[in-house]
Structure 1
Amino acid sequence: MKIGIVGANGFVGNRAVEILHLEGNEVRPIVRSAASIDRLTQKNLDCRIAGAFDRAALEAAFKGCDVIVHSILGSPGLIRGSIAPAYEAAQRAGVRRIIYLSSMIVHRSAPAVGTTEASPFVEDQPFPAHSAKIYAERKLLELRKNGSVEVVIFRPGIVFGPRSRWVIDLANQLSQGTAYFINEGKGICNSVYIDNLIHAIRLAMTVPEADGEAFFVGDRERVTWFEFYRPFAEAFGVDPTQIPHLNAPEFNHSWKQQVKDTLWNSQVVQKVLAAVSDDLKQKIKSAIPKRNKRTIEIEPFQQAETKPQPVVTEMMAELQQSQYKLPFSKAEKILGYEPIISFDEGCRRSIKWLAETKQFHQLLKLVEID
């Protein structure tokens, strides 16, 4: 089987390339730039370059592929605007099926008790990316009605593993003393180890009944946020019971910020940005102070006069207050899905990867100094 993976340099896409290639499939990574190819961990593959809005380039990249895995992260404008070009390109290229990576966030970050894949989307959400995912799912299924390319949608929750932002961000927070719990860490973390998600994607490539369906997919275990943090905290020598318990503050959204977000995240703006060269983007990026880094980059340590304090974000406040583990019984029934990696093993592999990074011991030193 020939499999094209859009967004192959991202966390999910990169791991999909690794696993599917090792299993003997003909994998074609599809990325937006030559620089993105350099970041792939699996080398010497038939890589193609195609922007998310460039239907002609996507069509050329999709030629000969049986299945396309669409795994793009980015702004709401990118999420919305990338759907029609990808589907139309797949139609023209003769692709049989698109597997689209959506998210549980279409039902909110803290889904209501009893939520299933058939539950209505939660329309009124404070995060533009959530609404964009809802739009993307609807658009795909609308295109499927008049098109021949089959569509399968996945709605994973907290996808973690080596190289994931969840692991990297948590490592940085534990080392800096800025990790925190809302609701004493008792909320449900809808975790899915990356290899379990790729396993589900692989199954969805061939099951006829999956066409037009959406699936939750997760780990077998019911995991709280305290249980998610604990193995990583212990790896850093941090007592998880000493991680601060904070209250979720009220978050206000000014109309000015809403207008700014709407304009910046629009499809028009994102299409313009997509046309900007990578060199110019890098120059602009380097001139802007970095915030919320998602790679382990440690600044030279200097003893601070005051200890950094945890800052509660609106997203984490909602995630950590979840009271419901999303069921994956539908994936079990239709796809034959069973998690192949336990939660504990997923944590062990993630911590092992962390320990092999150059910066891990620097992070440990920060904990020891504190």
Structure 2
Amino acid sequence: MSVSRVLVTGASGFVGEAVVYRLLLDRRYTPVAASRGRTRLDGLCQVVPFDLGGAVTITSMMGVEVVVHAAARVHVMNEKAVDALAEFRRINVDGTVRLARSAAAAGVKRFIFISSIKVNGESTEPGKPFDADLKPQPMDPYGISKMEAEIALRDIARETGMEVVIIRPPLVYGPGVKANFLSMMRWLDRGVVLPFGAIGNRRSLVAIGNLVDLLVTCIDHPAAAGQTFLVSDDADMSTTQLLENMANALGKKARLLPLPVWLLKAVASCFGKQGVAQRLCASLQVDISKTRHVLGWVPPVSVEKALRQTADYYRDLKNR
């Protein structure tokens, strides 16, 4: 499929902005950045206002052949909404459906939806990684909303003929990362003693460079149509290993206490932080063999390189 004009929603966000920058470097594509707020992309490409919640809709998709939908109400640690599921549905389901129907009506050929591994579930057992075709088992409002959006998109694809591609990433890291991963780097840089030195879990992550590479591959790969793909660096680590490797990339030594996992969970429970303990101590692995087989795709960025790039970003951020 020959493609030139690509609309990217959430273009002021971590993933969406990275996709637009990658497309700007590839002369095959002309990106259109759709963003709710201000973006650093002004002057680099066409920027159009867009609010997934419905306040601002894209008035024209003239000439757009592919949509990469990165805008979303993301998972938050301290949810403040009275009815979190309703709020996630309003943005991630209803907003996505409006966008997809507008795209189909405008003649868009393919709609690439960035979903979440949370559609599959929250954790995996040893030797049983998630794969793309397992029955979804989302456990929280965010995961449920992403699953419902996937279902709605498949229905729209059947009704309209617009091709839908679904990508479910785990935790994404790399230059531009924020939230907990950025906090982790600050702790390591400052030499904070962390009680995570004896966690033997296995978790899949994906570097932003690898996720973006897969998304660009799916823009015009003929075999991507109608498929759901999982993505990762294909190099799983324990929480302890991640902290040690990230500290090494920062030129530091991780100061980790080997507290037993049962004690970590007990302390977290006392403070109402069971979800934090789950993410730190449980395993969550994904099998990308389908992605490799169907698309011939392999992660182009090694974990070592991705961590170095993330460390460089952190140092630049600290020195501003």
* TM-score category, normalised to shorter length: 0.7 to 0.9
Tell whether 2:265 aligns with 1:248.
yes
Unaligned runs of 5+ in 1: 253-310, 361-370
Match of 1:171 in 2: 185
One-letter identity of the residue aligned with 1:201:
L
**Residues 289-315 of structure 1: CA deviation (Å, up to 9, x unaligned):** xxxxxxxxxxxxxxxxxxxxxx78433
Residue number in structure 2 paired with 1:78: 91
Match in the other structure for 1:110: 123
Residue of structure 1 equivalent to 2:64: 65
Distance in 1 (CA, whole Å) between partners of 2:195 and 2:63 is 48
Q: Distance in 2 between matches of 1:335 and 1:244?
A: 42
SS in 2 for 1:185: coil
Are residues 1:188 and 2:202 paired? yes
The 2-side partners of 1:249 and 1:211 are apart by 46
Q: 1:84 to 1:328 in 2, by over 3 A?
A: same
2:285 to 320, 325, 331: 325
Matched residue, 1:366: none
Q: Deviations along 1:117-150, whole A, 9 cap, x unmatched?
A: 1111115x2x211111111111111121101211
The equivalent residue for 1:335 is 295
Alpha-carbon distance change, 242 to 250 in structure 1, aligned in 2, over 3 angstroms: closer
The structure-2 alpha-carbon separation of the partners of 1:164 and 1:92, relative to structure 1 and needing over 3 Å to count, comes to same
Q: 1:208 to 1:196 in 2, by over 3 A?
A: same
**Structure 2: which amino acid aligns with 1:118?**
D
Deviation (angstroms), 1:345 = 0.6
Match runs of 1:6-155 below 5 Å: 6-24=9-27, 25-33=29-37, 36-37=38-39, 40=40, 43-54=43-54, 57-60=57-60, 62-74=61-73, 76=88, 77-112=90-125, 113-123=128-138, 125=139, 127-155=140-168
CA distance in 2, matches of 1:204, 1:142: 20
| Matches of 1:341 and 1:325, distance apart in 2 | 18
Alignment-mate amino acid for residue 96 of structure 1 = K
Where 2:148 maps in the other structure, the secondary structure is helix
Cα separation, 1, equivalents of 2:167 and 2:272: 28
Paired residue secondary structure (1:241)? coil
Q: How far is the alpha carbon of 1:41 from its aligned partner?
A: 5.2
Q: C-alpha separation between the residues in 1 aligned to 2:193 and 2:119?
A: 28
Determine the structure 2 residue equivalent to 1:199. Answer: 213
- Does the residue aligned with 2:206 lie in a helix, a strand or coil? strand
Supply the distance in 2 between the matched residues of 1:179 and 1:218 (Cα, whole angstroms).
26
- SS of the equivalent of 2:246 reads helix
Aligned residue for 1:340, secondary structure, equals coil
SS at match of 1:87: helix
What is the distance in 1 between the residues matched to 2:195 and 2:163?
Answer: 43
Alpha-carbon offset, residue 243 of structure 1: 7.0
Are residues 41 and 239 of structure 1, via their aligned partners in 2, closer, same or farther at CA, if it must alter by over 3 Å?
same
**Matched-pair contact (CA < 8 Å) for 2:52–2:72:** no
Larger Rg: 1
Q: Distance in 1 between matches of 2:155 and 2:142?
A: 20
More contact order relative to length (CA 8 Å, sep ≥ 6): 1
1:132 partner amino acid: S
What CA distance in whole angstroms lies between the structure 1 residues aligned with 2:293 and 2:207?
20
Matched AA of 1:337: W
Name the SS of the counterpart of 2:46 in structure 1: coil
Residue type of the partner of 2:62?
K
Cα distance, 1:179–1:14 mapped onto 2, change above 3 Å = farther
For structure 2, the 5+ residue unaligned runs are: 74-86
Counting matched residue pairs gives 295
Q: d(CA) in 2 for partners of 1:58 and 1:176?
A: 47
Structure-1 residue corresponding to 2:84: none
Q: In 1, Cα distance between the equivalents of 2:315 and 2:71?
A: 28
TM-score (norm 1): 0.72
* Distance change in 2, residues 1:89/1:243 (3 Å): farther
2:313: which partner in 1? Answer: 353
CA distance in 2 between partners of 1:89 and 1:95 (Å): 9
Q: Distance in 2 between matches of 1:128 and 1:249?
A: 25
Shift in Å at residue 317 of structure 1? 2.1
Counterparts of 1:56 and 1:146, CA distance in 2: 25
Distance 1:239-1:102 versus aligned 2 partners, 3 A rule = same
For 2:8, the equivalent position in structure 1 comes to: 5
The alpha carbon displacement at 1:346 in A equals: 0.3
8 Å CA contact 2:173–2:206 kept in 1: the answer is: yes
- What is the CA RMSD across the aligned residues, in angstroms? 2.7
Describe the SS at the equivalent of 1:229. helix
Please say if 1:213 is aligned against 2:173: no
Distance in structure 2 (CA, Å) of the matches to 1:135 and 1:251 = 31
Per the alignment, residue 81 of structure 2 pairs with: none
**Residue 231 (1) aligns with residue 245 (2):** yes
CA contact (8 A) 1:215 1:330 kept: yes
Deviation at 1:54, TM superposition (A): 3.8
